[in-house]
Amino acid sequence: MSVQTEKLLQQLEAIVGEAGILTGAALAGRSAGIWSGSALEALALVRPRSTDEVSRVMRACHAAGQVVVPAGGMTGLAGGHWSTATDILLSTERMNRIETMDARARTMVVEAGVILQSVHERAAEDGLMFALDLGARASCTIGGNIATNAGGVRVLRYGMMRDQVLGLEAVLADGTVVSSMFDVLKNNTGYDLRQMFLGSEGTLGIVTRAVLRLHEAPLATETALLAVPTWDQVMELLRYFDAALPGALAAFEVLWRDFYRLNTGPCSSVDPPLDGDTPYYILMDVFIADIDEGRARLESLLTTCLEQGEIVDGSLAASEAERARLWQIRENFEPEQKKFDLIYGYDVSLPLESMADYVESVRSELTARFADAELFAYGHIGDGNLHFSIYPGRARDRDAVDEMVYFPLRALHGSVSAEHGIGLEKKAYLEYTRSAAEIELMRKTKRMMDPGNILNPGKLFDL
Ligand SMILES: Cc1cc2nc3c(=O)[nH]c(=O)nc-3n(C[C@H](O)[C@H](O)[C@H](O)COP(=O)(O)OP(=O)(O)OC[C@H]3O[C@@H](n4cnc5c(N)ncnc54)[C@H](O)[C@@H]3O)c2cc1C
């Protein structure tokens, strides 16, 4: 280690204290994230406790030209938080305080390292809800949710993370603190600086605090699983339920047959609630305001769908335990981890009209080229957001599979990333979705806000 690096680490330790910096052997037991399986690599893991400490850490790193990679819960699926042995990994794990909760204003002020589930639990104590919800809720952080502009299962009704943040505070690459901690819904006073950080994947600043917008919690949630014979019917049912239950349809997920069979088959702990012979399975949440009437209304709509052949079978959860079991079919990735030693994950969006044909054409191209490959499709279809879990077969040609998935999206006006971000994994494909002029403007913004290119460099795009 150079004298300069040693001096910087001493400086950082003076800022965050001995417990706030881990190096060498102290890093050994840490993994690079729950999804990665590999050991964490970093020059040091720095864990500040306040905005002021983040600012002083950044000032020191800026002066030394030291690369800093921000990290929250490390559940990101695009490689945005990946670091190398020469990077400082700046974790918000000790900035995990819920500062204030204002039930009347329906706002909560949190530090960036607060876990999403803690926000849900705190809001629920006052009969409120925080609308962002996703499978990694027990590990991901509000700062990470902001930096990735996370989506999840409630976007259909409430929008993405950018719609849940009223204000935020961030530290720039040179240590400047930018506070936009507004708590009002409407604020047309020039450029919306807060939104610059939403989806910026840690390349423009480190989010340290946020003002979150809360909503009234529904009295109850009904969950149904429906077996649907055709894609046309899937699309019609989305409109049908949205129109018949205005403002109440809170999740509309679709599982293709192979995914449903995998997640209710021998590798799964969930028994299939419906047989596995139908091409599509809709998993739907409906918020209801009156328990008896709301459930009766939903039952009657489902009966009509059954009589008209729009669905061939269905299961309406009768308890919270049953609801959780139905959701496990969608959110549990253990079956694929048990069955396959390698899975490539994808997260794209495209118009619903083209989606079923797109899935089948990717599947046939994949299996024509790699006979032992397998594709499982599912996603937040109410938002036009499709996920693939692909077992690439023994050939393991990631570039070829990426190209099969991403290339057709250009003609379909789709996106190579619906909600997970670009990170390192999709950098090569950013130009499939964004124009050269857009990418150049992003580069100019990055150069202006981080002239030394020390904040998460090489993520999203190269300068
Ligand atoms: C099982 C599972 C299900 C998932 N489901 C969904 C889903 O439905 N929808 C969805 O959108 N995502 C989903 N994800 C992906 C992931 O959970 C989200 O991207 C989440 O928002 C990442 O939060 P994190 O705290 O783990 O961030 P990290 O993984 O630590 O970081 C993600 C990115 O944000 C940056 N970052 C982190 N904290 C900060 C900060 N304070 N300031 C600036 N930059 C920061 C990092 O540098 C990195 O670029 C899922 C992941 C898993 C494992």
Q: 54 in ligand 1 pocket by Cβ < 6 Å?
A: no
Closest CA to 459 of 434, 437, 442, 435: 442
What is the best residue among 58, 134, 263 to mutate for testing ligand 1's pocket, by most ligand atoms within 8 Å of CB? Answer: 134
Same domain, 314 and 348: no
CATH value at residue 57: 3.30.43.10
Is residue 270 located within the same domain as residue 359? Answer: no
26 in a structural domain: yes
Question: 238 and 171: one domain?
Answer: no
Atom number in ligand 1 closest to CA 380? 8
Please state the atom number of ligand 1 nearest to the C-alpha of residue 116: 25
The pLDDT value given to residue 36: 66
Assess whether pLDDT exceeds 80 at residue 34.
no
The closest of 409, 400, 457 to 430, measured between CA atoms, is 409
In a shared domain, residues 21 and 38: yes
Residue 1 has a pLDDT of 82
Q: Given a cut of 80, is residue 451 above it in pLDDT?
A: yes
pLDDT at residue 148 is higher than 90 = yes
Average pLDDT over residues 23-29: 87
Mean pLDDT of the 440-451 span: 97
Query: Does 318 have pLDDT greater than 70?
Result: yes
Which of 334, 367, 384 is the C-terminal boundary of a domain?
Answer: 334
Give domain status of residue 199, yes or no.
yes
Tell me, yes or no, whether 445 lies in a domain.
no
d(CA 265, CA 207): 42
Q: Is 122 exposed, middle or buried (0-12, 13-18, 19+ CB in 10 A)?
A: middle
Give the structural domain span for 288.
220-334
For the cut 70, the answer to whether the pLDDT of residue 234 exceeds it is: yes
pLDDT of residue 35: 66
Q: Which two tokens stand for residue 53?
A: 């400490």
Instruction: Please indicate, yes or no, if residue 463 is contained in any of the structural domains.
Output: no
Q: Are residues 328 and 390 in the same domain?
A: no
Higher pLDDT, 290 or 315: 315
Average pLDDT over residues 140-157: 97
In a domain, 130, yes or no: yes
d(CA 363, CA 251) in angstroms, rounded, equals 26
Average pLDDT of the chain is 96
What pLDDT is recorded for position 290? 85
**Which of 226, 315, 324 lies closest to 270, judged by CA?**
324
- The Å distance, Cα 139 to ligand 1 centre, comes to 9
Q: Ligand 1: does its nearest atom lie under 6 Å from the Cβ of 382?
A: no
Per-residue pLDDT of 324-378, as tens digits, reads 999 999 998 899 999 999 999 999 999 999 999 999 999 999 999 999 999 999 9
Q: Is the pLDDT of residue 264 over 70?
A: yes
Angle, to 10 degrees, between the axis of helix 3-16 and the axis of helix 51-64? 170
pLDDT at 292: 82
% of the chain residues with pLDDT over 90: 94
Nearest to 377 by CA among 313, 286, 281: 281
Last residue of a domain, one of 34, 62, 91: 91
CATH code at 404?
Answer: 3.30.70.2740
Each residue of 396-438: pLDDT tens digit? 999 999 999 999 999 999 999 999 999 999 999 999 999 999 9
| CATH assignment of the domain containing 236 | 3.30.70.2190
Considering the domain architecture, whether residues 163 and 235 belong to the same structural domain is answered as: no
* pLDDT tens-digit series, residues 246-256: 999 999 999 99
Q: Is residue 175 part of a domain?
A: yes
The reply to whether 161 falls in a domain is yes
Quick check: CB of 210 below 6 Å from ligand 1?
A: no
Residue 291: per-residue pLDDT: 83
Q: With contact defined as beta carbons under 8 Å apart, do 429 and 416 qualify?
A: yes
Q: What is the pLDDT of residue 293?
A: 87
8 A C-beta contact, residue 386 and residue 357: no
Same domain, 154 and 107: yes
Q: What are the pLDDT digits (tens) for 88-129? A: 999 999 999 999 999 999 999 999 999 999 999 999 999 999
* Ligand 1, atom 27, residue with closest C-alpha: 144
Contact 169, 193 (CB under 8 A): no
Q: What confidence score (pLDDT) does residue 115 get?
A: 98
Pocket test for ligand 1, best of 94, 140, 163, 389 (most atoms within 8 A of CB): 140
Residue of 68, 77, 161, 387 best suited for mutating to test ligand 1, as the one with most atoms within 8 Å of CB = 77
Calculate the CA 291 to chain-centre distance: 31
Strand partners of residue 102: 107
Q: Residue 197 is part of a domain; what is its CATH number?
A: 3.30.465.10
* Same structural domain, 357 and 316: no
- Are 79 and 113 in a shared domain? no
Give yes or no for residue 89 CB within 6 A of ligand 1. Answer: no
Residue 258 lies in a domain: yes
Residue pair 177/53 in contact (Cβ under 8 Å)? The answer is no
pLDDT attached to residue 29: 80
Q: Of the residues 201, 216, 231, which one is the last residue of a structural domain?
A: 216
User: Which residues make Cβ contacts (< 8 Å) with residue 437, sequence separation at least 6?
Assistant: none
Check whether 21 has a pLDDT greater than 70: yes
How many domains does the chain contain in total? 4
Mean pLDDT, residues 68-82: 96
| pLDDT of residue 159 exceeding 90 | yes
Q: How far apart are CA 228 and CA 274, in angstroms?
A: 11
Local confidence band at 138 (pLDDT 50, 70, 90 cut-offs): very high
This model's pTM is above 0.75: yes
> 398 and 370 in one domain?
yes
Q: Which of helix, strand or coil describes residue 259? A: helix
- The pLDDT value given to residue 14: 98
Residue 115 and residue 167 share a domain: yes
Per residue in 268-296, pLDDT tens? Answer: 999 999 999 999 999 999 999 888 888 99
- Cα(459) to ligand 1 centroid in Å equals 14
Backbone φ and ψ of 91, nearest 5°: -100, 140
Could you tell me if 102 and 203 lie in one domain?
Answer: yes
